[in-house]
Amino acid sequence: MLKDISKVKKYDVFERVFTGKTDGNPFIDYDIKAVFKGEHEEVEVNGFYDGFGNYVVRFMPSYEGMYEYTVTGSFADEAYSGTIKVTAADKKNHGPVRVTDKFHFSYDDGTPYYSVGTTCYVWELREDKLIAETLKSLDKAGFNKIRFCIFPKHYVYNLDEPRSYPFEGTPVGSYLITPENFMDYDYKTVGNNWDFDRFNPAHFQHIEKCIKELKKIGVEADLIVFHPYDRWGFSNLPREVEVRYLDYIINRFAAYSNVWWSMANEFDILPNRDDSVWNFYGNYFKEHDPYGHLRSIHNCLRVFDHSEPWITHVSYQRTDLYKTAEDTDGLRDKYGKPVVLDEIAYEGNIQCGWGNIPGEEMVRRFWEGAMRGGYPGHGETFLNDEGILWWSHGGKLQGESWKRVKFLLKILSETPGHGLKKVPTEWDCVTAVCEDDAIEAETGYRIDYYSFMRPGYREFNIKDDYLYEVEVIDTWDMTVKKVGTFSGKFKIELPGKPYMAIRLKKVLK
């Protein structure tokens, strides 16, 4: 046995690369696995073939201290072992995101996580310059999650070839595809020549490079495993190929602490699969991901049964033209899980109704969802001469709603305890209080949100003996104004503008 000693920080990726057998098909014919044993955990991981005779195992330690590991498999005629010394995590690395307090999230070390995400479906499959611009935009806006696909996307505004493909082979030529006829190529396989028994490691290497870049700026990578917008045959692979693909991405990506798994974007319009297939795949991730990353499934018109045990949180796209974030508390009540509003339409000006709401309405939906105890998602689809739409390609943000993400995140982060929930008060506002009843009773923390209405004042009648500090929040102008301390019956003047809120909290001695 050959022995090695290494150092790694908690929640970082420990990686070892081995030279192994190359005859036959290494993606199928050989295996590699490792067992990591520490004082507080024992983790078994499967490795993967990375091309050019290289076999890789990765491990994310969840504890500080010493670990012993062994690496075995048919990839080589000998076994390997070693020791890892795990040191403290970087201050900004809090580990994977977990569900906490039933309806909310925190990092593995207990730090609260308030999801305010966005969607850029294939930003990582664009050119390097645009990728760098996207990362800069994400950091500037303050988003802390991004949804994107592992497979390339075929759709209007998405007719160019991606930078790479997941399998060895050649794609159907795109030179005849136009915005007028692109739907004729949906789900077609004619003209493609893929070897589904051989992955293209360069495709996945690039994606994990992007995952690492996202981690540097504190952004979770919500990876979409399958999606329907396809001209290459990737949306309807043979089942044995799909399972092999699941193994490959779990073995490659799971050791990165900022990974989430989304089984599908718009599961209900993918061909040739019913809910039993999705449940099989979801449970496959639950059973084979050694780190238990978050798992979800996203809908088009039919909402999945999110009560399935493998689903950690509700990933929701609105199913009504008008009612969007207003569904949040109902989804919480129905499924008893966190609600992430991954698609509540897009700020923009394209012809489609899902992609042309104004920034004011997008921000209203942010706040409506957040005050109902959920977590909003952003999107943007503005026409431009370059044909670069944030929703799919990333690049520069052009709208107004993204500028207000950090402000909402700041307000959410000031919540006593962890997370908000909607409670019944007046019929014409949404009132949010602390999720934890004991903390709510202690702090009296409350936000009344008035949405598109524009009251000139609001009257309160609080039936206790406490003084309350009152602040007026302008969610569009991003201001918080202290207006004094009050008790019992009192009146708060407002500017008669939409998108206002009032925050109250007890003055504690």
CATH number of 97-413: 3.20.20.80
- The per-residue pLDDT for range 300-338, each reduced to its tens digit, is 999 999 999 999 999 999 999 889 999 999 999 999 999
Q: Report the pLDDT value the prediction gives residue 393, as an integer from 0 to 100.
A: 98
Domain with CATH 2.60.40.3950 in the chain: 420-506
The residue among 93, 264, 132, 125 whose CA lies nearest residue 205 is 125
Distances (CA, A) of 211 to 45, 97, 252, 253, 447: 20, 15, 11, 9, 35
| C-alpha to C-alpha distance for 255 and 204, rounded to whole angstroms | 14
* Architecture label for domain 420-506: Sandwich (2.60)
Q: What number of residues does the chain have?
A: 509
| C-alpha to C-alpha distance for 254 and 273, rounded to whole angstroms | 25
Domain with CATH 3.20.20.80 in the chain: 97-413
Q: Report the pLDDT value the prediction gives residue 176, as an integer from 0 to 100.
A: 80
- Tokens 């700020």 sit on residue: 347
- The per-residue pLDDT for range 180-205, each reduced to its tens digit, is 888 887 877 788 999 999 999 999 99
Q: What are phi and psi of 413, to 5 degrees?
A: -70, -15
Structure tokens at 330: 């109902």
Q: What is the dihedral of CA 89, 92, 93, 96, to 10 degrees?
A: 150
CATH number of 2-87: 2.60.40.10
- The per-residue pLDDT for range 142-161, each reduced to its tens digit, is 999 999 999 999 999 999 89
Q: Report the pLDDT value the prediction gives residue 174, as an integer from 0 to 100.
A: 80
Q: Report the pLDDT value the prediction gives residue 3, as an integer from 0 to 100.
A: 58
Sign of the torsion angle spanned by Cα atoms 71, 76, 79, 80: negative
| DSSP β-bridge partners for residue 248 | none
Low-confidence ranges of the chain (pLDDT < 50): none
The residue among 84, 82, 148 whose CA lies nearest residue 120 is 148
Q: Report the pLDDT value the prediction gives residue 2, as an integer from 0 to 100.
A: 53
Q: Report the pLDDT value the prediction gives residue 187, as an integer from 0 to 100.
A: 75
| C-alpha to C-alpha distance for 140 and 129, rounded to whole angstroms | 17
Domain with CATH 2.60.40.10 in the chain: 2-87
Could you tell me where the beta strands, DSSP code E, fall in 104-235? 104-107, 112-113, 117-119, 145-149, 167-170, 193-199, 220-226
